[in-house]
Structure 1
Amino acid sequence: SRQFMRADARKNYDHLLAVARDVVTEHGAEASMRDIARRADVGLATLFRHFPTREALFEALLRMNVDELIQQAAELETSNPPDEALVS
């Protein structure tokens, strides 16, 4: 899991996820693992070392999105009136 990675491996993992999110946003679920690796400027083997399957990559993307939503919710909860936070 990400929290037990060395700092350089975690940086690579985060970079791959950010690039994957861009590629998936552009091309949808048909996004190519090869395109993701190429755009991230890594070999396909490196991508598969971090994400052995497409499913593993999509699961990590979903988890990242949920984590971001949870963080946004916590920030809204403390900085906005409840009705505005809910709408946001």
Structure 2
Amino acid sequence: MFGRHGFFRGHFRCHFTPRINTIYKGGSYKYIGPCRCGLGPHAYYLDENGNLIHGWEIFDRDFEGDRKRYLMERIKYLEEEKKRLEKELKNEW
């Protein structure tokens, strides 16, 4: 009924192994795009050094401080982006 590969047709073949001795807490990251597996909130980011990082390597479920700091940095970035866009819009008129 769903083909030879089952209902999800191979979507569960996307497995990631953690990078040993690498910690990606803090810092700033730029969103690149979604993960190819299409399951869950996976995404790719670029760090300050230009390294490509998977989303699960950045966020730790157990430490609320990093999540709060990330959200504060994101809010600050979005406010700066808003000011830049307002200035750009003002200069167009």
Superposition TM-score, scaled by structure 2 size: 0.37
Greater helix content? 1
Greater strand content? 2
Q: Which has the larger radius of gyration?
A: 2
Superposition TM-score, scaled by structure 1 size: 0.39
